[in-house]
Amino acid sequence: MVNSEVLLEVNNLKQYFHIRNNLGEKASVKAVDDVTFNIYRGETLGLVGESGSGKTTLGRSILRIYDLTDGRIKFSGVDITKLRKDKLLPYRKKMQYIFQDPYASLDPRMTVSDIVGEALDIHKLASSKKDREDKIRDLLKLVGLNTEHSSRYPHEFSGGQRQRIGIARAIAVEPEFIVCDEPVSALDVSIRAQIINTLEEMQERLNLTYLFISHDLGVVRHTCDRVGVMYLGHFVELVESEELYKNPLHPYTQALLTAIPEPDPEMAKKRNRIILKGEIPSPVNPPSGCKFRTRCPFAKDLCSQQIPEFKDQGNGHYVACHFTGKI
Amino acid sequence: MREMDNTAVLENKLFMPATESEKATVEIMRPSVGYWKDAWRRLRANKVAIGALVVILLVLLAAVIGPMLSPYKYDQIIKGSENLSPNVQHIFGTDSLGRDLFTRTMIGARISIAVGVVAAIMISIIGILYGAVSGFLGGWADIVMMRIVDIVYSVPTVLIVILLQVVLKDPIDKYLSSANSPAFLKGLGVGLISIFFVLALLYWVDMARIVRGQILALKEQEYVLAAKVLGASSRDIISKHLIPNCIGQIIVVATLKIPEAIFVESFLSFIGLGVSIPMASLGSLSQAALKGIYSYPYMLIFPAATISVIILSMNLFGDGLRDALDPRMKK
């Protein structure tokens, strides 16, 4: 399944945003705080967590959309953290992004062929006008759109079709790695499966590696090889997806998993739901020690004093908790 | 009361597959309506705007080909027919030197409209570039650039025109009298050229502000981010994504700038800072008519009414255009 070639190496990535509060004091939002992980070639790494946990920011930081506050990103062995615009261009071709909202991510004044063609133009992938047209047609066919759609504008399409246009734009540059930022959560439930299948088909055909951001644990279980769980800018757990569902070690993951709706009412009654109290704390002023301690049912004194290490518990099961295995 | 019979009889023959012709009736045949077509449809529904457009076209027609059809030239002095009231030969009458006022008014309208259109184009080019760069860069660059706009906004127009005419008179005169200056510039004279300078220098600020505001909002859109992820350069993002998405507002502002420029030109010509004699503009015609206002009021009425008609119809058309291009702005 997963081969061991590291495609993307993220080390101690920190992404802070500087803001001013209404008194004019400077503060920083610690959207992603000290995250380290690898993505292997050909795998799909899931990224889950509630709203505000930093999933999207992490995905965008990896693509160098923001300037990193600290840390390092290596793409197939090359450090791309500090690359300037012109040097970064070849890596822009290798890493792409699929957006959550298919309504906002397509320019309303461009036709479908212009949207997909823009990718080809920037990286000079078409040798002639005819070649460009042929490539656009092939791409549209590949993602399951009609080729006569190419002269239409985005507003003429449904959400699912728009998302297919977004996928066509992303794969137009023949990337190796794609960040899928909740690609199906804005879509109608009935089309989600189609888009997921299209994404999986593309992965197989084009040998893609995905970072799949989602808060739908069912979708993640279906699509991902490994899953990382984020809380307040930190990874709390990272493990192969079957193992995560069978044997969650972090109390936050356990709470998330019990929150998946259970269709069978008998089973639902028997289930022991862990209900988290309160809201995710503000990333401007996060709690000391373990970030999750304010909502953790098992929190002890140690949790407020020391930041738990993100440790391998054996067989690649990473957890950040002081009491791993004891709860 | 009779019991209602709610049962429907369902037979198998009701559940036949649809025939080809039945399917065809459900198919959506209407071609999709694009942005411009949709705007034109809304504009056409606005009777005031269409009326204004017709008036503009008529005035334009008169200004462009009217003088060619007229039996008199605008600077032709007809001895013996000075200060004539409107009559069959001279439907607007003649002025104190015996020149046909109808021809002069058409020439004046031609100059005024040309000033308005050229000024609107210059204003648009400067304003769009400045506003787009300011909005796109954001941060400190934006703050500094917008303060410059505030300063330009506060400069008094008349003062700058007078100063420019004084400063530019010599160099422009020298340039105009040199052999290689284009012929059309010679007809304009120092006054008109400095009016162009002033309009270009001072009137782009509205356009810059509006474009900047639009771009500030648009640059946060995800499709701009998508272009960045693809590796598009800032120039491409501005020219291919940002400006096309605020073209509606740009056209509206540019259209409303035409009457404003016409007004400025007329006003400056009226106080004697505009076109040089014998060239006429609507403002200078009005000014010339002032001397005889009690005896020959028609000399003032015709050019003044023409200015009003042009400005009013342009404003009404611009308003209609705004409603058509930007339906959200409609109150």
The one-character DSSP state at B19 is P
> Of B113, B119, B136, whose CA–CA distance to B201 is shortest?
B119
CA angle (A81 as vertex; A75, A86 as ends), nearest 5: 90
Taking only the tens place, the pLDDT of each residue in B226-257 is 998 888 888 889 888 898 888 888 888 888 88
Using the beta-carbon criterion (under 8 Å), do B221 and A104 form an inter-chain contact?
yes
Contact status, residue A41 vs residue A5, Cβ threshold 8 Å: yes
User: Do B225 and A65 lie within an 8 Å CB cutoff?
Assistant: yes
* pLDDT at res. A282: 84
Average pLDDT over chain A reads 86
Element (H, E) at A115: helix A112-122
pLDDT at B74 over 80: no
Chain B nearest C-alpha distance from A205 (Å): 21
> How much is the ipTM here?
0.85
Specify the higher pLDDT residue, A23 or A70: A70
Per-residue pLDDT band at B329 (split at 50, 70, 90)? low
pLDDT of residue B331: 44
B302: pLDDT strictly greater than 80 = yes
Q: Distances from the Cα of B168 to the Cαs of A71, B160, B192, in angstroms? A: 59, 11, 11
A56, A86, A89, A107: best to mutate for the B interface, most B CBs within 10 A = A107
Higher pLDDT among residues B240 and B171, named by residue: B240
Residues B303 and B285 sit within 8 Å (Cβ to Cβ)? yes
Residue A109: which of B229, B232, B245 has the nearest Cβ?
A: B245
B79 membership: H or E segment, kind and range: none
Give the tens place of pLDDT for each residue, A253-274: 888 888 877 778 887 777 777 7
What's the rounded Cα separation, in Å, for the pair A245 and A227? 10
Question: What is the DSSP code string of B266-329?
Answer: HHHHHTT-SPPTTS--HHHHHHHHHTTTTT-THHHHHHHHHHHHHHHHHHHHHHHHHHHH-GGG
SS3 call for A216: coil
Helical ranges in A209-326 per DSSP H: 217-223, 241-246, 251-258, 265-270, 301-305
* Domains of chain B and any CATH numbers: 46-72+107-329 (1.10.3720.10)
Architecture of domain A6-320: 3-Layer(aba) Sandwich (3.40)
pLDDT at A5: 84
Q: Are A208 and A176 in contact (CB under 8 A)?
A: yes
Contact B230 A92 (CB under 8 A): yes
Return all residues near B91 (Cβ < 8 A) that are at least 6 apart.
B102
pTM score, two decimals? 0.79
* Paired tokens of B90: 């001279």
Q: Kindly indicate the confidence band of residue B178, based on its pLDDT and cuts at 50, 70 and 90.
A: confident
- Our CA-based measurement puts residue B239 at a distance from the nearest CA of chain A, in whole angstroms, of 12
Residue whose tokens read 């077509």: B37
| Range list of β-strands (E), A121-261 | 177-181, 209-213, 226-231, 234-240
> A105 and B223 in contact by Cβ < 8 A?
yes
- Cis bond leading into B278, ω under 30°? yes
CA distance B205 to chain A (A): 26
Q: Which two structure tokens, joined as six digits, stand for B245?
A: 């998405």
What is the mean pLDDT of the segment spanning B141-169? 85
Token pair listed for B143: 């703050």
Asked if B325 is an interface residue toward chain A (Cβ–Cβ < 8 A), one would say: no
CA distance B305 to B322: 25
Q: Which residue of A has its CA nearest to B248?
A: A109
Which H or E run includes B82?
A: none
Query: How buried is A147 (Cβ within 10 angstroms: 0-12 exposed, 13-18 middle, 19+ buried)?
Result: middle
Tens digits of per-residue pLDDT, A210-240? 999 988 888 888 889 999 999 888 898 998 8
| Least-confidence region, from A143-147, A149-153, B153-157, B176-180 | B176-180
> Which residues of chain A from 29 to 88 reach within 8 Å of chain B, CB to CB?
63, 65, 88
